[in-house]
């Protein structure tokens, strides 16, 4: 008996073939078992390139064959290094964004069914299963990921797809803003105590260093402080608020980085600055509400759910709620969105794996057997039924299935 078979019974659930739950993200992937209250592993979505041997992101490629090879290697690491189970004996729940490209979904299904021969796969919408962690059917779910923000309202368990919103803001935008601010204002301190501007010592900062600095030192300031900072930017006569304390961050064994307090709070302002289309995190919530049926707006506004890795930043929820209330009372939105009450839920998990936890709850129910895509069915059609593909949603086919 292989080692991973002997360890399969260890955990909170002693069922032999517990469902495996994956939540593949651009930056991080969560993996674990259904019925558990947290993932077994959260790791970066990276693999070693077969040709060069360098570590590369799994999903940052346009070549289908290259993506398939990377997924094969990455899922092998998940199964045999972290989960220690045999994929052939397990059902799989894949927590995915509803706006995931169909090609990516089909390539992932081919890897799971043809290479690892899993029993079946359930593709669960992340915005929908996130509400399962709260035990509610209605909510406006905003997923703030690494590359983008996606917002989908869900009313009584049904996503309102006509009101979806997306914006290219997230962890990557914060990293870009932080890198620019540090190169401009950061000070490098050598062994002799001499200070130099960081841009004179190095041209760029590694992505992992930027992420570590963001997590350890950065925060989202309040709306009042932000307003004063922006006012001072254009009018020097206005007194700016006192800056937060600076932080000393070790870059290497002989060199440290002094991070000014202004950099710590200004790095996240990119999430709330409106672009040329007047879009930001708060505005897309109000824009989405305008597109929802009028009798659903109040319930959706009172059930805001913020998930994703970037949503874990200190002060983000408080700032987002203050921005929404201020914009809703402004002249641009007050006549259209006549709602005064906005509330944000506090899920029973960290924001970065709320969607995974919803998939783990789904995997512990009968839905994993009733709504699954079996391997033999996939091998016949060689594709995953897609909600946005009309050939998979013909009225005649639905009538035949119901009969």
Q: So what's the pLDDT on residue 319?
A: 93
Give Cα 118 distance to the centre of its chain.
Answer: 26
Over residues 338-384, the pLDDT tens digits come to 888 899 999 999 999 999 999 999 998 888 888 888 898 888 877 88
Q: Do 56 and 45 form a contact (C-beta atoms < 8 A)?
A: no
Distance linking the first and last C-alpha atoms of the chain: 46
CA–CA dist 145, 21 (Å, integer): 19
Q: Do 87 and 56 form a contact (C-beta atoms < 8 A)?
A: no
Q: So what's the pLDDT on residue 330?
A: 85
Over residues 234-270, the pLDDT tens digits come to 555 666 778 889 999 988 777 888 999 888 988 999 9
Tell me what the pLDDT averaged over the chain comes to.
85
What's the Rg (C-alpha) of the chain?
23
Q: Do 140 and 320 form a contact (C-beta atoms < 8 A)?
A: no
Q: Is the pTM of this model over 0.85?
A: yes
Domains (ranges, CATH) in the chain?
3-131+352-402 (3.30.420.40), 136-169+280-346 (3.30.420.40), 171-271 (3.90.640.10)
Q: 164: pLDDT confidence band, cut at 50, 70 and 90?
A: very high
Q: So what's the pLDDT on residue 393?
A: 62
Position 318 pLDDT exceeds 90: yes
Position 294 pLDDT exceeds 80: yes
């Amino acid at each position: 008996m292989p080692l991973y078979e002997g360890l399969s019974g260890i955990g909170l659930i002693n069922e032999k073939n517990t469902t495996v739950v994956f939540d593949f993200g651009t930056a991080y992937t969560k993996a674990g078992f259904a019925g558990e209250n947290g993932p077994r592993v959260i790791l970066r979505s990276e693999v070693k390139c077969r040709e060069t041997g360098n570590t590369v992101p799994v999903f940052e490629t346009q070549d289908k064959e290259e993506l398939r090879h990377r997924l094969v290697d990455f899922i092998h690491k998940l199964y045999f290094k972290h989960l220690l189970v045999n994929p052939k004996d397990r059902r799989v729940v894949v927590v995915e964004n509803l706006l995931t490209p169909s090609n990516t979904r089909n390539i992932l299904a081919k890897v799971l069914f043809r290479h690892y021969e899993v029993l079946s796969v359930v593709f669960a919408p992340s915005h929908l299963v996130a509400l399962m962690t709260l035990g509610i059917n209605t909510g406006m779910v905003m997923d703030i990921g690494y590359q983008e923000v996606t917002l989908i309202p869900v009313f009584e368990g049904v996503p309102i797809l006509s009101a979806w919103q997306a914006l290219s803001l997230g962890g990557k935008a914060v990293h870009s803003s932080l890198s620019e601010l540090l190169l401009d204002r950061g000070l490098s301190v050598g062994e002799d105590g001499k200070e130099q501007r960081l841009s004179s010592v190095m041209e760029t900062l590694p992505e992992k260093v930027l992420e570590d600095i963001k997590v350890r030192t950065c925060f989202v300031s309040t709306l009042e402080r932000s307003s004063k900072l922006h006012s001072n930017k254009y009018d020097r006569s206005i007194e700016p608020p006192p800056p937060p304390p600076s932080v000393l961050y070790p870059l290497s064994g002989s060199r440290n980085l002094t991070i000014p307090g202004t950099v710590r709070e200004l790095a996240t302002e990119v999430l709330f600055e409106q672009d040329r289309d007047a879009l930001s995190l708060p505005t897309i919530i109000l824009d989405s509400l305008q597109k929802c049926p009028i009798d659903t707006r109040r319930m959706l506004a009172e059930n805001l759910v913020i998930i994703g890795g970037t949503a874990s930043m200190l002060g983000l929820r408080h700032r987002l709620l203050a921005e929404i209330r201020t914009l809703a009372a402004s002249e641009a939105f007050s006549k259209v969105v006549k709602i005064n009450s906005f509330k944000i839920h506090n899920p029973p998990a960290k924001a970065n794996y709320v969607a995974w936890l919803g998939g783990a709850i789904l995997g512990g129910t009968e839905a994993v057997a009733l709504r699954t895509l079996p391997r033999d069915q996939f091998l016949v059609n060689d594709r995953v039924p897609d909600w946005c593909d009309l050939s998979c949603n013909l009225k005649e086919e639905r009538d035949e299935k119901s009969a």
